[in-house]
Amino acid sequence: MTAHRISLGRVLRFTLLSLGALIFLAPYIFMISTAGKAQSEIFSSSLSLIPEQWSYVENFTKALSRVSMTTLLLNGVIVCALIFTVQVLVAVPCAYAMAKLKFRAARFMMVLVMLGLLVPIHATALPLYVAFDRLAVLNSYTALVAPFSISVFGIFLFLQFFRAIPDDLIHAARLDGMSEAGIVARVVVPNAWPAITAFAIFSVVAHWNDLFWPLVVVTNQDYATPPLGLLYFRAAEAGDDYGALMAATLIITLPLIAAFLIAQKRFVEGITMTGLKG
């Protein structure tokens, strides 16, 4: 009897989850379908997901040839990697100092961090742009990376995680003769991988997809990031080239999905351990 009830519950649960998944996936289904349609087929009165004439090759060719996808993707990787590396390098020692050292400014830092969480880049874009121009660093990786070199979210996340690292471990390291910097590099970082993975997902997702800031500071196409590439498929005045747009979107989204799939187990684990949840 219990067995029966359990299986009924499971069926219900599975059905619900699957239905939800279908709804969440719907836009992607249409995206994939559209990426395979000829332009004249995309908007029609009859809904059909499967293209009448398969134009995947055509659309993907367009997506790849119209813009230099390799440059875009490479720039995306470089920029995201740089941002992520610098963010970690900056945030980890700071979070360590706040979590584990007698640091009188820790409270003040906490306020700064909270404030930082609230300020969107849209708000500060203009002063930053002017400053970057004065320094003649527009159109460079520096301009793309610098404003994100400090991630208050990262500090926040690592802080939560480090608080859970036992004090004894730090003490043992001190007794073993490590300097504080040594402790960060040799003890804290090697044990913070779950948190770093979780942060990596947040950081990379945000900056891979960021359109706003690259648009502001990059005019030279050599430094264009993937979302900038999508512009080439948009023609506001006359309707977009949807097939190619979707194909291009797929191309630049796939690396992220792959990254998430690889990291996702550690990701949830990392968030659990960071106590980010509260």
Partner 1 sequence: ETVLTVHYPMPGFFKDVMDTISKKFMEENPGIKITFANPSATYEEGIQTIMRQAGTAEMPDITFIGLNRLRMVNERDIPVDLGPFIAKDGNMAEQGFSENILKLAQVNGKQVGLAFATSNPIMYYNADLVRKAGGNPENPPKTWDEVIALGGKIKALGDGVEGIDFRWQGDDWMFSALLFGAGGRMLNEDETKVAFNGPEGRKAIEVLDRMVKEGGLPVLTKQAGEQAFVAGKVGFAFQTTGALRNTIKNVGGKFDLRTAHIPLIDTVNGKLPTGGNAVVILTRDAEKQEAAWKFAKFAAGPYGASVVVPGTGYVPNNELAAKSPEYLANFYKENPLFQAGLEQMPRMIPWYAFPGTNGVKVTQAIVENLSRVVEQSATPEEALDDAAAEVESLLPRS
Partner 2 sequence: MPILAADRREGRIAWLLAAPAIALLFLFILLPTLAVVVLGFTDFELGFGSFRFVGFENYAELIGDRTFRRSLWNTAVYTAIVTPVSIVLALAIAMLIEAETRARTFFRTVYFLPVASLLVAMATVWQFLFHPTIGPINAFLAEFGIAGPNWLGASGTVLYGLSIIGIWQSVGFNMVLFLAGLTAIPRDLYSAAEVDGARSWFDRFRLVTWPMLGPTTLFVTTISIINSVKVFETVKTLTEGGPNKASEVLLFTIYQEGFVYLRVGYASAMTVIFLAILVVLMFLQYRVLDRKVHYA
Partner 3 sequence: MSILSLHNITKSFGGNAILKGVSLEADEGEFIALVGPSGCGKSTLLRIVAGLDHADGGEIVIGGGEISSVAAADRNVAMVFQSYALYPHLTAGQNIAVPLAMRRLTVAQRLPFIGNLLPGQRQIRADIQRQVKEMAASLKIDHLLDRKPGQMSGGQRQRVALARAMVRHPSVFLMDEPLSNLDANLRVHARGEIVELHRRAGVPTLYVTHDQSEALSMADRVAVMIGGTLLQLASPQEIYDDPAHIEVARFLGQPRINVMETRMDASGTVRFGALTLAADGVSSSETPVLIGVRPEFVRLGARADGILRARIERTEFLGSEVIVHARLDAIGEAIVAKVGPAEAATLVAGMPVSVDIEPDRAMLFAVTGERLRAKTVNVASVREKARG
Contacting residues toward partner 1, per CB under 8 A: 38-45, 66, 126, 129, 133, 136, 138-139, 215-216, 218-221, 224, 228, 231-241
Sign, CA dihedral 271-273-276-278, equals positive
Helix (H, G, I), strand (E, B) or coil at 106: helix
Rounded to 10°, the helix 193-208/242-274 angle is: 160
CB nearer to partner 2: give 120 or 166: 120
Q: Which does 15 bind (CB under 5 to 8 A by kind): partner 3, partner 2, partner 1, none?
A: none
Q: Which does 187 bind (CB under 5 to 8 A by kind): partner 1, partner 3, partner 2, none?
A: partner 3
Two structure tokens written together for 72 = 């875009």
Distance set, CA 239 to CA 143, 236, 243, 245 (Å): 32, 6, 12, 11
Give the DSSP letter of residue 187: I
Q: Which does 163 bind (CB under 5 to 8 A by kind): partner 2, partner 3, partner 1, none?
A: none
CA angle 198-263-210, nearest 5°?
65
- Gap between the Cα atoms of 103 and 97, Å rounded: 7
- Gap between the Cα atoms of 215 and 85, Å rounded: 22
By CB under 8 A, residue 57 contacts partner 2: no
158, exposed or middle or buried, with CB in 10 Å at 0-12, 13-18, 19+?
A: buried
Q: Among residues 7, 8, 11, 20, which is the contact residue for partner 2, using CB under 8 A?
A: 20
- Distance in Å, CB of 75 to partner 1, minimum: 12
Q: Which does 138 bind (CB under 5 to 8 A by kind): partner 1, partner 3, partner 2, none?
A: partner 1
- Gap between the Cα atoms of 240 and 230, Å rounded: 10
- Gap between the Cα atoms of 169 and 150, Å rounded: 27
Q: Which does 176 bind (CB under 5 to 8 A by kind): partner 2, partner 1, partner 3, none?
A: partner 3
By CB under 8 A, residue 272 contacts partner 2: yes
Q: Among residues 72, 82, 91, 143, which is the contact residue for partner 2, using CB under 8 A?
A: 91
- Distance in Å, CB of 87 to partner 3, minimum: 22
By CB under 8 A, residue 116 contacts partner 2: yes
By CB under 8 A, residue 17 contacts partner 2: yes
Choices 50-58, 63-71, 133-141, 143-151; region in contact with partner 2 by CB under 8 A: 143-151
Q: Which does 169 bind (CB under 5 to 8 A by kind): partner 3, partner 2, partner 1, none?
A: partner 3
